[in-house]
Amino acid sequence: MTEREEVLRELFKPEGKPAALEGVKVLEICGVNFGCMIAGSLLAELGAEVYTVLDERAARVTADGVYINGVGVPYFVEGRGKKRVEWRDVETFLPHVDILLDGLGAGRLAARGLGYPDVAERYPRLIYVAVSPFGHYPTSKSREYAEVPDSDLTGQAYNGYMAMLGNPNLPEPYSYPIRAGIWLAWAFAGAAAAMGALSAYWQRMKTGRGTFVDVATNDVLSVDHPYQIGAAFVLNESRRRSPTIDANLYVTYTTARAKDRFVAIASVIWPEIEAFFEIIGRPELAEKWRDAMAQVEKDPDAIKPLEKEVFAVVREIPAEELIRRSREKGKPPIAVVKTLEEVAAQVHWRLRRAIVEVSCGKKLLSPGTPYVMSETPGRVNSPC
């Protein structure tokens, strides 16, 4: 271990340190909206005291009927460290709340007399954060879809994300657009809502006034990623879905099947692309690739025969050999695509508390916290 690493390990030790948001009270009323719940969880990991009005239907969401201590797998993670509040207590609890997270849908809390216009008057310091499919901000769709619940899959679809994912060359329906394997739209919505809540909290520290923050699951991913809008703006057409070469850079920034398993190849800039062709033993292909890239504008399929040839070569080389060669050359970064089992077994992620072992009747693995902070480390609250 280098001296730097040794110092940093000591610096980041979480034991005995405060959390950044100690004293901040959050009430979440999320229904079955996990984007909203993720926001609450991220604030809890940063030290906020989070209370939740539990919708039993959210606790029932799970895969293959798997329940742990009576709750589904997603709620097992996103319910961590949250204290329950009953509906009947919300009114009396609200004066003590700094941040209210509303995931029920536009107008639903208003129907109970708890919409932003109602509570803003009574509690001007309150920060009200809404997470819903089309937002609460008045638009034709926020009205039209006010009563339709949120979902991650439809969020990924409406953000233009799924249109870029999957292999169109497979037989139907495997050729259809597919999803990112995690709740990506809800993760973005939750991260954006936490960011909105904290920027409003910061503003309140200066002005003494709360505000309304409105997150729409169906746009957050496509305003954070610049490609859906940027590509359509300059190209005046949609990009083509590609399972191998990168749909933006047209380079070998991709997963590929090596001889024994999948690898991820990260060639982005030209020296890395050249190095990649060298390590697969075909340096002459670099120039051909450059020529093909130049033709793509006129002929979108120009790169295809070359692509086929390149990946056929990669398929003959064992993964570890590819990695050895890339490290020897210094570029491009290549890594084995780790299986879930391999990731779960790695010391590195345990050491960083990214993956933690929890004891809930039996020992279980769970995502920990990504917040590694020297003064106020992220909290990994117990799910049990």
**Segment 282 to 341, residues that bind other proteins, using CB under 8 A:** 293-294, 296-297, 333, 335-341
Q: Rule CB under 8 A: choose which of 260, 374, 382, 384 binds other proteins.
A: 374
Q: Which is nearer to other proteins, 89 or 342 (CB)?
A: 342
Q: Which is nearer to other proteins, 18 or 305 (CB)?
A: 18
- Interface with other proteins, residue 276, by CB under 8 A: no
Residue 295 has, within 13 A of its CA and on its CB side, a CA count of: 13
Phi/psi at 303 (nearest 5 deg)? -90, -10
- Interface with other proteins, residue 51, by CB under 8 A: no
Q: Rule CB under 8 A: choose which of 89, 96, 199, 305 binds other proteins.
A: 199
Q: Which is nearer to other proteins, 92 or 363 (CB)?
A: 363
- Interface with other proteins, residue 20, by CB under 8 A: yes
- For β-strands 25-29 and 49-52, DSSP reports them as parallel
Q: Residue 111 corresponds to which tokens in the numbers above?
A: 């129907």
Cα 225 to Cα 230, 231, 238, 372, distances in angstroms: 9, 11, 15, 24
Candidates 64-72, 82-90, 281-289, 304-312; binding stretch for other proteins (CB under 8 A): 64-72
Does residue 156 contact residue 164 with C-beta atoms inside 8 Å? no
Q: Rule CB under 8 A: choose which of 269, 316, 318, 384 binds other proteins.
A: 269
The nearest distance, CB 304 to other proteins, in angstroms, is 14
Q: Rule CB under 8 A: choose which of 86, 173, 328, 359 binds other proteins.
A: 173
Burial 331-349 (b: 16+ CB within 10 A, else e): bbebebeeeeeeeeeeeeb
- Interface with other proteins, residue 103, by CB under 8 A: no
Q: Rule CB under 8 A: choose which of 53, 107, 288, 306 binds other proteins.
A: 107
> Residue 134 and residue 145: Cα distance in Å, rounded?
7
Residue 104 has, within 13 A of its CA and on its CB side, a CA count of: 18
> Residue 203 and residue 197: Cα distance in Å, rounded?
10
- Interface with other proteins, residue 228, by CB under 8 A: yes
- Interface with other proteins, residue 273, by CB under 8 A: no
Does residue 130 contact residue 136 with C-beta atoms inside 8 Å? yes
> Residue 350 and residue 218: Cα distance in Å, rounded?
34
Q: Which is nearer to other proteins, 178 or 313 (CB)?
A: 178
Q: Which residues pair with 127 in a beta bridge?
A: 99
- Interface with other proteins, residue 245, by CB under 8 A: no
Instruction: Verify cis geometry, omega within 30 degrees of 0, for the bond prior to 367.
Output: no
Does residue 215 contact residue 131 with C-beta atoms inside 8 Å? yes
- Interface with other proteins, residue 188, by CB under 8 A: yes
- Interface with other proteins, residue 161, by CB under 8 A: yes
Q: Which is nearer to other proteins, 43 or 90 (CB)?
A: 43
- Interface with other proteins, residue 139, by CB under 8 A: yes
Q: Rule CB under 8 A: choose which of 29, 42, 90, 285 binds other proteins.
A: 42
User: What is the total count of residues that contact other proteins (CB under 8 A)?
Assistant: 184
Report how far Cα 333 is from the mean position of its chain's Cα atoms.
23
CA torsion, points 40, 41, 47, 51, in degrees to nearest 10? 50
Report how far Cα 267 is from the mean position of its chain's Cα atoms.
23
Q: Which is nearer to other proteins, 95 or 230 (CB)?
A: 230
Q: Which is nearer to other proteins, 66 or 89 (CB)?
A: 66
- Interface with other proteins, residue 179, by CB under 8 A: yes
> Residue 143 and residue 145: Cα distance in Å, rounded?
6
Q: Which is nearer to other proteins, 64 or 92 (CB)?
A: 64
- Interface with other proteins, residue 259, by CB under 8 A: no
The nearest distance, CB 51 to other proteins, in angstroms, is 19
Q: Which is nearer to other proteins, 92 or 362 (CB)?
A: 362
